Copies of this chain bind each other. A is one copy, B any other.
Amino acid sequence: MSASPTWSLHTQLQKDTIDIGDLPLSRVLVVKDAHYPWLMLVPRRADAIEIIDLDEVEQGQLMTEINRVGRALKEITKCDKLNIAALGNVVPQLHVHVIARRSSDAAWPRPVWGVMPPLAHDAGEVQAFMTELRRKIWLG
């Protein structure tokens, strides 16, 4: 699956994330907030806002990628719960949050959005996390 000709990552998502790489459908990103191990999948389909804007094959592939990334994130973080969500009330471009939650984290048991101001990552730690994630979702 190649990107739609006119697709590009929304500027707000560019600001808020670090690029990990591309799965067949989605770009995989880390959200710049060290409070939670927080990933995002952005299907490379121009003008997609809702999951229901994707066709059936793309929806199936999105679920496959959610599963692949969710499993990797859980294995790496040993988290208590995954939170998976497509909201998009602020940034319309379709994006799916995949967040590792711990019962000790800053927002638990609430959803993470809007609870805490983002916390900067330690550069070494986020690079090590991304390296491990890349290994698990492409080479695992």
Chain A residues in contact with chain B, CB under 8 A?
Answer: 49-52, 56, 59-60, 62-64, 66-67, 70-71, 74, 81-90, 92, 101, 108-111, 113-114
Contacts and interface: CB of A to CB of B under 8 A. Distances in A.
Would you list the 3 A-B pairs with minimal beta carbon distance, nearest first? Answer: A85-B85, A89-B109, A63-B63
Contact of A89 (B49, B63, B66, B83): B83
Q: Is the interface of A mostly helix, strand, loop or mixed?
A: mixed
Given A62-B63, A110-B114, A113-B111, A70 B52 contact: yes
5 contacts: A50-B74, A52-B67, A56-B67, A81-B88, A83-B88
Contacts of A52: 67, 70-71, 74, 82
A82 B51 CA distance: 9
